[in-house]
Amino acid sequence: MAEAERTTGEHDDDGLDIGEVTASDWYAHIDQMAEVRFLTIARRLPALVAEAWRMAWRASPRDALTAVAGNLAGGVCTAFGLLATTGVLEALFRSGPTPDRVRDALPALALVAAAAALRTTTQAVAGWAQSRLDPQVSRISEERLYGLTSRVELIAYDDPDFHDALQRARARGVATADAVVMSAINVMTALVGLVAVAGVLGVLHPVLLPLLLLAVLPDAWAAVRSARMRYTTMYALIPVHRRKWIVGDLLANRSSAAEVRAFGMRGFLLRMYDAVARAEQEVMLRLARRQTVARLAGEALGGVGTGLVYLALGVLLAVAAVPLAVAGTAILAIRSGQSSLATLMHSVNRLYEEGLYYTDFLDFCAGAERRLTGPRPEPAPRSFARITAEDVTFCYPGAESPALHGVSMEIRRGEVIAFVGENGSGKTTMAKILAGLYEPQGGTVAWDGLDVRLVEPDELRASIAVIAQDHTRWPLTARYNITMGTDKGEAELLAAARVAGADEVIAELAHGYRTLLDRRFKDGAELSGGQWQRIAVARGFHRDAPLLICDEPTAALDARAEHALFERIRRHADGRTVVLITHRLASVRYADRIYVLDHGKVAEEGTHEELMALGGLYAELYTLQAAAYR
């Protein structure tokens, strides 16, 4: 690691000050791989193979069985072919005219050909099944991940531990699922090949088994040595990869593209990228040299081992311990064993490494499942006469003080209720609790006396529409950005767009409601912040819910559009209940009731006139804003 840091240190004077950045999730376990010994891998191997088998079985029992059965059959065919080879060699090596010996060898030769053809067929079938397993394993793993991420309680996303686990699972964990299955099958295939070879040698002559170890151990040492070199080098390169990723992201990310050009950052960033890339290149070139030396040493030792094998076979032949045909078959079997060993070593190392990342995925899924809401006994109400919050307390994970502390309020059907207060006062948090996105950690929220913690959150949220300040700009068509996948018909779509003023925005789009609202795609369109705000408002109106929560709905609008939107909300609120959160106090003076929040508590409540007469925080904020317009 120090070597890599020294390499990049030459460029620190012109480098990019990136501060402390977490190591890339893609290399999160490289330190474990750098320190691991082969025996550690071997001990964990059965558990990894078992998990891979369970995953393959869930994806497709038929393909899983076909892959394993095909590889087992291939091993049997290998053993049978080697034994049949002995018959061929015996016929060819016995005394007599050559035509007679060839003719005598034909039956055994036919068996060898049949075994080879059958082995090729079974391995092709196994390969076909493995290629079918890959996309199925990937699909079920991704569906499991995103099924959980979309169901966990929203508060989980405010928990740093959950967020870190999610990043590790998404960055590489879920992507290694198919590789784990493939590596496990390859491990089993190589093991079957080695067992087949060992079985053949044991049948031919017990003394031949030690010769197999003598031939394959040098290659095994070289493979392990080369793999450890790569892992330790990759661990040392983590800071380099981190810098390279950050600079590359700045050069290719849409969010930074404008400022890269506006401030002429291209040359500076390219110089930085080149410095980091060269540092990485130098280390990788040194790794290639060291691995080549290790391979050469392994091959040299392997040559010595092979020479000893031939010497031992010569001694066995000289003392008539084995016939010449058996010695020839033994040589072929040992060669086959060396090939199986190379496959085994590569697959075992890959299985262990990918297994570490796949464990991140499994750990995340287990943790996410513990965060799911359990079954709720009561049906969710479709409407209400009164919503009450009593002594509500809520604290974000890791926060030193609660965002809400002892908040109580009442909302009656048909009212327009406003939440006002300075930043951090708890307005948005309270709105999310009323929207069913968060559950209070203390106190209760009830619809007509029914505690919302007794009903299914998804069912409750079906009766609530939210227009959020930080709304998502979905890379979907204008239609889907409003309907959000619901199908209420054309009339409902057009009505919602008209009420929000989004119809004027969509009328200017080339393909109307079919226009994709993302310029990164062909025929996509880019909207301004104010235009997106109207789309988001139409989305809330299209929900047509009895409770409408508007969190800073006019933040991106100009003064004329803001006035028009509030007029539309007032008209649209006929018979509905609206909770309005805004910093622009001129927009809330006609609310039926205003709650003023301060440091997570309700400091004041009442109508505009009552609060102005009170002369408290609301009056102070309103007066400050009004003075700015004079």
* pTM tops 0.95: no
Q: What does the block give as tokens for 510?
A: 């080339």
18 has pLDDT over 60:
no
Structure tokens at 294: 């290790």
pLDDT at residue 452, rounded to an integer:
92
**How confident is the model over 521-540, as a mean pLDDT?**
87
Q: What are phi and psi of 411, to 5 degrees?
A: -130, 120
- Asked if the model's pLDDT at residue 22 lies above 50, the reply is no
Quick check: is 586 in a domain? no
Q: Which of 544, 568, 593 is the last residue of a domain?
A: 544
Q: Is the pLDDT of residue 17 over 70?
A: no
- pLDDT at position 174, please? 83
Strand partners, 420: 596
Q: What is the pLDDT of residues 232-266, one digit of tens each?
A: 676 667 677 777 877 888 888 877 887 888 778 88
Look at residue 338 and tell me whether its pLDDT is greater than 60.
yes
SS3 content of the chain, % helix, strand, coil (to 5): 65, 10, 25
Given this model, what pLDDT does residue 311 score?
77
Report if residue 170 sits inside a domain: yes
What pLDDT score does 530 carry? 83
Q: How far apart are CA 182 and CA 202, in angstroms?
A: 30
In this prediction, what percent of the chain has a pLDDT beyond 90? 19
Show the CA angle centred on residue 88, arms to residues 86 and 90, nearest 5°: 65
Quote the pLDDT of residue 41: 59
Average pLDDT over residues 563-591: 78
**Does residue 564 lie within any of the structural domains?**
no
pLDDT, position 603: 94
- Lowest-confidence range among 206-210, 296-300, 597-601, 618-622? 206-210
pLDDT digits (tens, 9 = 90+) for 266-276: 888 888 888 88
Pairing of strands 450-451, 547-551: unpaired
Looking at the 3D structure of the chain, how many domains does it have?
2
Q: Using CA atoms, how far apart are residues 365 and 361, in angstroms rounded to an integer?
A: 6
* CATH at residue 508: 3.40.50.300
Boundary-marking domain end, from 370, 405, 424: 370
Query: From its phi and psi, is residue 377 left (phi > 0), alpha (psi between -120 and 50) or beta?
Result: alpha
DSSP state of 607: -
What mean pLDDT is predicted for residues 605-626?
Answer: 90
Res 402: pLDDT: 92
Q: What is the largest CA-CA distance in the chain?
A: 124
Structure tokens at 278: 């060269």
Tell me whether residue 375 is in a domain. no
Of the residues 353, 370, 387, the one at which a domain ends: 370
Reply yes or no on whether the pLDDT at 598 is more than 90: yes
pLDDT digits 0-9 by tens, 71-87: 888 888 887 777 777 77
In a domain, 106, yes or no: yes
Per-residue pLDDT at 11 = 41
Q: Where are the alpha helices (DSSP H) in 150-253?
A: 160-168, 177-204, 208-236, 238-252
Same domain? 191 vs 69:
yes
Average the pLDDT over each of 24-28, 139-143, 554-558 and give the range with the smallest value: 24-28
Question: What is residue 283's three-state secondary structure?
Answer: helix
Q: What average pLDDT does range 613-629 have in this prediction?
A: 86
Indicate if the pLDDT at residue 538 is higher than 70. yes
Instruction: Please state, in angstroms and rounded to a whole number, the distance separating the CA atoms of residues 149 and 372.
Output: 10
pLDDT given at position 9: 41
What pairs with residue 444 in β-bridges?
390
Q: Two tokens at 259?
A: 């400022």
354 vs 114: which has the higher pLDDT: 114
Does any domain span residue 197? yes
Q: Tell me what the mean pLDDT of segment 364-372 comes to.
A: 89
Q: What confidence score (pLDDT) does residue 96 get?
A: 64
- Assess contact for 416 and 435: CB atoms under 8 A: no
Is 574 exposed, middle or buried (CB count within 10 Å of its CB: 0-12, 13-18, 19+)?
Answer: exposed
Coil, strand or helix at 448: coil
Contact 572, 591 (CB under 8 A): no
Question: Model confidence over 401-436: pLDDT tens digits?
Answer: 899 999 999 999 988 999 999 888 999 999 999 988
Distance, in Å, from the CA atom of 284 to the CA atom of 305, rounded to the nearest integer, reads 31
The reply to whether 123 falls in a domain is yes
In a domain, 42, yes or no: yes
**Helix residue ranges per DSSP H, 465-592:** 478-483, 490-500, 502-507, 529-543, 559-572
- Would you say residue 344 has pLDDT above 70? yes
The per-residue pLDDT for range 33-42, each reduced to its tens digit, is 545 555 665 6
pLDDT of residue 607: 92
What average pLDDT does the segment 24-28 reach? 53
Please tell me which residue, 68 or 570, carries the higher pLDDT value.
Answer: 68
- pLDDT value of residue 159: 85
Q: 478-487: which pairs have CB atoms within 8 A and are 24 or more residues apart?
A: 478/506, 478/509, 478/512, 478/513, 478/514, 478/515, 478/517, 478/535, 479/513, 479/514, 481/517, 481/535, 481/539, 482/535, 482/538, 482/539, 482/542, 483/542, 484/539, 484/542, 486/542
Alpha helices by DSSP H, listed for 253-400, are 254-262, 266-318, 324-370
Q: Are residues 343 and 486 in the same domain?
A: no
Token output for 85:
């080879």
At 597 the three-state DSSP class reads strand
Domain residue limits at 244? 2-10+24-370
Q: Looking at residue 602, what is its pLDDT?
A: 94
- Sign of the CA dihedral running 197, 201, 202, 208: negative
- The whole-chain average pLDDT of the chain stands at 81
Tell me the per-residue pLDDT of 160-178, one tens digit each, with 9 for 90 and over: 888 878 877 887 778 888 8
Q: 211 and 92: one domain?
A: yes
Say which CATH number the domain at 330 has: 1.20.1560.10
The pLDDT > 70 percentage for the chain reads 86
Are both 250 and 361 inside the same structural domain?
yes
pLDDT of residue 36: 52
